[in-house]
Amino acid sequence: MSAPDFTDLIDLAAERLGAAAIACNDEFFAPMENLVRQEPAVWKDHLYTDRGKWMDGWESRRRRPADGLGPDDHDWCIVRLGAPGIVRGAVIDTAFFRGNYPASAALDGCLAPSHATPAELAAAEWIELIPRGALAGDTANARAAARSEHVSHVRLRIYPDGGVARLRVFGEVVPDLARLGGLGGELDLAAVENGGLALACSDMFFGVRHNLLLPGRATSMSDGWETRRRRGPGHDWVVIRLVGEGEVRRVEIDTNHFKGNAPASCTLEGTHAPASATVDELTAWRPLLAETALTPHARHFLAALPAGAISHVRLNVFPDGGVSRLRVHGALTDAGRRAVGLRRLESLPAGALRRELAQCLGAAHWVDAVAAARPWGSSAALADAADAACADLAETDWLEAFRAHPRIGERHAARSQTATEARWSASEQAGTTTAGDATRAALAAGNAAYEARFGFLYLVCAAGKSADELRARLEARLHNDRATELAVAADEQRQIMRLRLDRLLLG
């Protein structure tokens, strides 16, 4: 029987990607750290510890009826993924656990900061990714995800107790540009942790293609991509989908540990296509590197040829051999950043999505309507959905949204703001920071007069406007009747929303 398709994706729980087991309720016989070890589990005859038989996995003590055991009692372990992503499936490997494996298991996920403590994770919004199902002993139990969710941590639940050798969580990395520091600057566009993915290759007999994009340098030949010896014409290749559309500036090709089996030479090509394109649909390849001789067991730092916006690259090796790492350094275009940001938004759990959207327009009905419209498919479609949701808001909704903003010339809103909202507000009102005392006093007096007249705060899309211009607009709008002014303020709020929505996408 062939392996499920999801096992051809990235193992988000790989130790070498930065994953770690960070909490469990019991590890009496064997520690939780073993769950994410890269190498397959091993058996050691006649090796015992002061707790019992040495096992290469995570194993809890036996639960007893005297413990008040019920049908839903279970042991658990939380793993912080090496990179947040959309989980497509998992392998719960019970290798060598033959009489001490759990009867069944389930897998949950949540989205939380990488530094979240066990106490904070206990209060997180957990989502069941893989429902409880029976396990077989000494078996790589493969389970497809019932819900494909964007998560940063997973929680393995085993019923009622027992041992699991390894946990592999397969999926697609969803990068957060703000976390990665890729906000217009240079980053590795191909790195796994940034969202790069090796789509296909001609051969990977000795080493899998995903190894090319892992962090750090390879630890051995097995930690790279290596093809079998080619006995006929042609050459080997691997195609990589970059994190997003970007301009490639420089390349690193590392043949670390490949001493007698490195390729003789290589080329690198790039093309531009939708992220959903299959390998067969990729055409019009442009040169990024001319044919370059490769030295065994060495790092090669090379300047890329100008090729414009690139979304995919193809590394060709002549005629065959092994490469340990490929780095494709460059900067995302604005379109690339928006596409990456859209993918992140579309994959967020419902609660996290609502919190992010509320930073753009703080009316619950608007947030519900925009969230219900996903997947949007494009940043333009998201903007259209946001505008359409605005058109359906009542006066009470607009007043709710207005309260999310600080007064012009002030820094604090009527309700608490997130750090992102506070930063956006400060940026939008940057024109007031250099205002003199007289202008500040006039703004404060104008705000008070405006609120007394209309019953809501003076709202204006302040980005790019000086304090004097903001004051002049306030004084002019004081002459409106309430219905007119409510419509004006609502349109200003819509403009603010559009700016913030774009900021959300750009990171």
- 494 and 387 in contact (C-beta within 8 Å)? yes
Rounded Cα gap, residues 142 and 148, in angstroms: 15
> Going by DSSP bridges, is the β-strand pair 197-201/236-254 parallel, antiparallel, or unpaired?
antiparallel
The answer to which of 76-80, 170-174, 420-424 has the lowest mean pLDDT is 420-424
Q: Residue 151 has what pLDDT?
A: 96
Tokens at residue 415, please? Answer: 């309700």
SS (H, E, C) 145-210: CCCCCEEEEEEEEEECCCEECEEEEEEEECCCHHHHCCCCCEEECCCHHHCCEEEEECCCCCECHH
Helices in 245-373 by DSSP H: which ranges? 334-347, 350-358, 364-372
Exposed, middle or buried by CB within 10 Å (0-12, 13-18, 19+), for 138?
Answer: middle
Q: What percent of the chain has pLDDT above 70? A: 95
**Residues sharing a CB contact under 8 Å with residue 359, sequence separation 6 or more, in sequence order:** 418, 420, 421, 424, 500, 504
At 434, the pLDDT band (50, 70, 90 cuts) reads confident
Q: Residue 67 has what pLDDT?
A: 65
Across the range 290-304, mean pLDDT stands at 97
At 2, the pLDDT band (50, 70, 90 cuts) reads very low
- Long-range pairs for 387-390: beta carbons < 8 A, 24 or more residues apart: 387/494, 387/498, 389/365, 390/361, 390/366, 390/490, 390/493, 390/494, 390/497
Exposed, middle or buried by CB within 10 Å (0-12, 13-18, 19+), for 137?
Answer: middle
Angle at 286 between CA 285 and CA 287, to 5 degrees: 125
CB atoms within 10 A of CB 391: 9
- 131 and 109 in contact (C-beta within 8 Å)? no
Asked if 177-336 and 349-506 have one fold, the answer is: no
* pLDDT tens per residue across span 478-500: 999 999 999 999 999 999 999 99
Task: Give the containing element (helix H, strand E) for 506.
Answer: helix 482-506
Q: Residue 69 has what pLDDT?
A: 67
Residue 52 above 50 pLDDT? yes
Residue 3 above 60 pLDDT? no
Of 321, 403, 306, 336, the residue nearest 184 (C-alpha): 336
Q: What percent of the chain has pLDDT above 90? A: 83
* pLDDT tens per residue across span 142-169: 999 999 889 999 999 999 999 999 999 9
At 413, the pLDDT band (50, 70, 90 cuts) reads low
Strands (E), 69-111: 75-93, 104-110
Span 177-336: which CATH code? 2.60.120.260
Residue 66 above 90 pLDDT? no
- 255 and 297 in contact (C-beta within 8 Å)? yes
Please state which CATH class domain 5-173 belongs to. Answer: mainly beta
Q: Residue 184 has what pLDDT?
A: 63
Homologous superfamily (CATH) for 349-506: Oxo-4-hydroxy-4-carboxy-5-ureidoimidazoline decarboxylase (1.10.3330.10)
Residue 414 above 60 pLDDT? no
Q: Residue 63 has what pLDDT?
A: 85
* pLDDT tens per residue across span 336-389: 999 999 999 999 999 999 999 999 999 999 999 999 999 999 999 999 999 999
Domain positions in the chain are 5-173, 177-336, 349-506
Q: Residue 407 has what pLDDT?
A: 87
Q: Residue 427 has what pLDDT?
A: 80
> Locate tokens 């590890």: which residue?
27
pTM of the model: 0.87
Which DSSP symbol is given to 229?
P
At 1, the pLDDT band (50, 70, 90 cuts) reads very low
Across the range 41-68, mean pLDDT stands at 89
Q: Phi and psi at residue 3, in whole multiples of 5°?
A: -70, 150
At 419, the pLDDT band (50, 70, 90 cuts) reads confident
- 245 and 332 in contact (C-beta within 8 Å)? yes
Rounded Cα gap, residues 238 and 36, in angstroms: 27
Q: Give the mean pLDDT of the chain.
A: 93
- Long-range pairs for 3-9: beta carbons < 8 A, 24 or more residues apart: 3/142, 4/89, 4/142, 4/144, 6/88, 6/89, 6/142, 6/144, 6/145, 6/170, 6/171, 7/89, 7/91, 7/142, 7/168, 7/170, 8/170, 9/88, 9/170, 9/171, 9/172
Tokens at residue 193, please? Answer: 């942790």
Tokens at residue 201, please? Answer: 């290759």
